[in-house]
Structure 1
């Protein structure tokens, strides 16, 4: 069986080789593909084709994908957490250094000089760009995931005192964070104590405008805010007031809007934090592996709308089910199998929110029985999508 994959944006071709020879890459021309692989393409106004089973976002953020709509259609959405973490880490560290020394302003100023005495003008005017060192300064990291954890570790190696806030940090991530990073359970501690604050959390109703007027009111003078996560995490109106009041010394962001451009003390980059050759390759490789694993085995890794599910395929047939998370659904699935005299070799069911995912491995040689079971599932209430995978 050959699977069709439609790609949006410029997906690294070396990374797409991870799909293997069972996949046909149709660029952006496929009308009814099995899977999408995208980067920044906005899918909110796109009608999903009936055959679409998976979307892989070659990056961490998925705000460009209508997650609820995809879930209700039985489409598994993947992202690639950590694939561009090193690139974003370096961009944030560079922003810290640039804000401490105002390299951007210094470069702009020196390029205005003219005449044979430029060296003298440089010596006379350079004091305005003396800046400070980052060693011994405090950095607050909000969100200690793949990106935030790396930033915390490397900033500590630069001699900074680092505070970290993340009530949801995973055990695996926590093990990789230096014991020198001071974990706090209240954002107020970071707002009140840090010279630099960088944020690395997804945009949700709870995190929107993390930096609002109340947050800025708790900060000390000349705080530097760095935002390479999502623009909406900062209330721009409150930010402008904080800059005017001298609370915010500099604001660095990777998310440009018209109201942020050409503003004193605001530096805007064109969403390039994760745009390195290495990161784009890593993201494409991870996205390709996720799609290949899901299409060939039904297993799920790094989905944002369905749970991770892994189970070795040893039976002749595997049926995957995306079903509504309702009482007795597993019992009903098992009954449907037994009614046809089919033996269950293995079954695993994992839920996430209002939906669940089931891998059903069947020890049966009669293909007609398997086909009938698939039909029965397709006609069942509370089952959204059915797939049949053969060993």
Structure 2
């Protein structure tokens, strides 16, 4: 491996990252490989980073997908490492799978196909058996039915709008809906005040939320009892969102029509009312390429310019470059950190041209452009300020 040049960055990859994403890194200034000494950043998909040693050289981690449960975000935050994801890049893939699963469940297509596959075409009563199947697998149409959407982010909004196009009434719930999502949402989608309000009204309910303490078993035994008789439940979000044991009992009792899940369990994998998939949510060529491109661009922007787009632990922040040098500082969100940084620079004769600071939870992030170069002593003094977790000169 050649020695790293002054402006050379190293990206260590895990999993198979789409070539379109990797091509976003110029060969003149980036080394990209699955094994590298002292990498500046990790780029991964489903790899379990909780069990992977993370060198001190790593300043950023990019997940080519939306969920970050496979990344130790809290640990990395304590080290001042930015964690990025790709929200919305896989939204169309998941939307199409949800609509596909909904149609399969509403029309009983999977059990109907299995029924025919089990028939002997040489039997004299074959045609009669086919007609018997027609009666057994009567489904229902979607117009006029109510779809409940829990989580109105990039994916949830697309699903809500698509369902409106199919003639469904849509009711959604998201206490943290962003302005961008609200603008994209069809105006006739009804906003619910609680999860329970959605559960009690929906003929079909679909979940699009991250897995955390608030969403674990969000559809539990109590809420399952509140579902409308014959409801369809769809979970392509995260394992653990739905209490599978309680839902299995409701399926057995015939109170729930069908369950579409991307998270197979031994107990439900052969259930006649369950359509279970091998984690296909974002498994399309287009989705994998979109995620890889988005993450590659975000990592480049952070490594080269310090700008933060779609980070799950740092505040969104960008700054047009104006000075000779740029400083990027991640610190604990404590009083007077910006003042102390400015004081150190002033004491060492460094003039600030432009500065922006934002905070998010326990972390704060500062980008500032200065005139001239920052010498080693000044850099060491800034890095030594109490609470500074990561200091870079770009």
**Which of the numbers 177, 198, 202 marks the counterpart of 2:185?**
177
Q: Which whole-Å deviations, capped at 9, do the CAs of 1:270-323 have from their partners, x for residues lacking one?
A: 111111011011011101100111111010100001111100011010111110
Matched, 1:218 2:226: yes
Q: Say if 1:74 and 1:281 are closer, same or farther in 2 by CA, change over 3 A.
A: same
Matched, 1:329 2:334: no
What is the 5 A alignment of 1:11-22?
Answer: 11-21=17-27, 22=29
For normalisation by structure 1, the TM-score amounts to 0.96
For normalisation by structure 2, the TM-score amounts to 0.95
**Which of the numbers 261, 265, 272 marks the counterpart of 2:273?**
265
1:293 corresponds to? 301
1:87 corresponds to? 93
Deviation, 1:53, is: 0.8
**Which of the numbers 368, 373, 378 marks the counterpart of 1:373?**
378
Please give the alpha-carbon distance, in whole angstroms, between the structure 2 residues aligned to 1:259 and 1:8. 32
What is the 5 A alignment of 1:235-246?
Answer: 235-246=243-254
SS at match of 1:259: coil
Please give the alpha-carbon distance, in whole angstroms, between the structure 1 residues aligned to 2:132 and 2:64. 49
SS at match of 1:44: helix
CA contact (8 A) 1:19 1:291 kept: no
CA contact (8 A) 2:308 2:317 kept: yes
What is the 5 A alignment of 1:27-176?
Answer: 28-116=34-122, 117=124, 118-176=126-184
SS at match of 1:9: coil
Matched, 1:275 2:283: yes
> Structure 1: 5+ residue runs without aligned partners?
none
SS at match of 1:386: strand
Q: Say if 1:258 and 1:31 are closer, same or farther in 2 by CA, change over 3 A.
A: farther
SS at match of 1:18: coil
Deviation, 1:122, is: 1.5
2:387 corresponds to? 382
1:25 corresponds to? 32
Matched, 1:313 2:321: yes
SS at match of 2:340: helix
CA contact (8 A) 1:201 1:229 kept: yes
Deviation, 1:353, is: 1.1
Q: Which whole-Å deviations, capped at 9, do the CAs of 1:44-85 have from their partners, x for residues lacking one?
A: 111211101111100001101011011111111000000000
SS at match of 2:357: strand
Q: Which whole-Å deviations, capped at 9, do the CAs of 1:12-40 have from their partners, x for residues lacking one?
A: 012211122321111x2113211111000
Aligned CA RMSD, in angstroms, stands at 1.3
CA contact (8 A) 2:148 2:206 kept: yes
SS at match of 1:357: strand
Q: Which whole-Å deviations, capped at 9, do the CAs of 1:328-353 have from their partners, x for residues lacking one?
A: 11111111111111111111111111
SS at match of 1:37: strand
Deviation, 1:260, is: 3.1
SS at match of 1:350: strand
CA contact (8 A) 2:110 2:275 kept: no
Deviation, 1:120, is: 4.2
2:4 corresponds to? none
Please give the alpha-carbon distance, in whole angstroms, between the structure 2 residues aligned to 1:127 and 1:346. 72
CA contact (8 A) 1:144 1:200 kept: yes
CA contact (8 A) 2:248 2:268 kept: no
Please give the alpha-carbon distance, in whole angstroms, between the structure 2 residues aligned to 1:125 and 1:268. 22
> Structure 2: 5+ residue runs without aligned partners?
1-6
CA contact (8 A) 1:140 1:198 kept: yes
